Copies of this chain bind each other. A is one copy, B any other.
């Protein structure tokens, strides 16, 4: 077997905060695409599990430690990298940016969160990778409730609505959304209220992790 293909991993890390989605990018220190923005990533070591490789590269280049990235897709177009044939296995995850301190190092000159509607030009085929990651994230939240780790521990229902509206990038039928979500029975309505702006005080909710994992195991379909 005279194969000369190299294998890399890339980490698409989305951040959700205050009604906006951003993505973590690095500015490349070396050629190719020196000085251009890219998704963090790099080569897999010979005896390294793929998940370890993507966590290591992410940490080395951005200072961000995440151990729950999900595999997105493998990109293998023979011309995707000017250095030769490099197949990249992309991973993605969704976090709260303020929980992480970013810090460029190794082959990253800078690291920065970019709003996904204000992206710079990207290196390699990273625009395609990002596009697929966004579409996967959007389809995922339509059949599996997620994102609770991005909300406060206790939150008014409107925070959950905002999360979904932002992630989907489109308005939702609010009454229907609330009805369907509550029917899942994974939120506990608390005896506490919060006042925001001039509206009347809103009830607070808390995510019921136990019932959520039970539901997830049964194969929940959440149709919004």
A residues near B (Cβ < 8 Å) are 1-7, 43-50, 71, 73-74, 76-78, 85, 87, 89, 139, 142-143, 219, 221, 223-224
| Residue from A2, A47, A78 having most chain B Cβ neighbours under 10 A | A78
Taking a contact as CB atoms under 8 Å apart, the answer to whether B89 and A46 are in contact is no
Q: List the B residue with the shortest CB-CB distance to A5.
A: B7
Q: What residues of B have a CB within 8 angstroms of the CB of A223 in the complex?
A: 221, 223
Q: Can you report 14 residue pairs joining A to B where beta carbons are below 8 Å apart?
A: A1-B43, A2-B46, A3-B7, A3-B45, A5-B44, A7-B87, A47-B85, A49-B77, A50-B87, A71-B73, A142-B143, A142-B219, A142-B221, A221-B224
* Main secondary structure on A side of the interface with B: loop
Number of chain copies forming the complex? 2
Which residues from B are CB-within-8-Å of A47?
A: 78, 85
Interface contacts beyond A1-B6, A44-B87, A49-B76: sample of 13 additional A-B pairs, CB < 8 Å, sorted by A: A3-B7, A3-B44, A3-B46, A4-B46, A5-B46, A7-B7, A49-B78, A50-B74, A71-B73, A71-B74, A142-B219, A143-B143, A143-B221
Within 8 Å CB of A77, what residues of B? 49
Report the Cα distance A224→B43, complex, angstroms: 42
Q: Which residues of B are found within 8 Å of A7, using beta-carbon distances?
A: 3, 5, 7, 87
Given the complex, which residues of B lie within 8 Å of A45, measured CB to CB?
Answer: 3
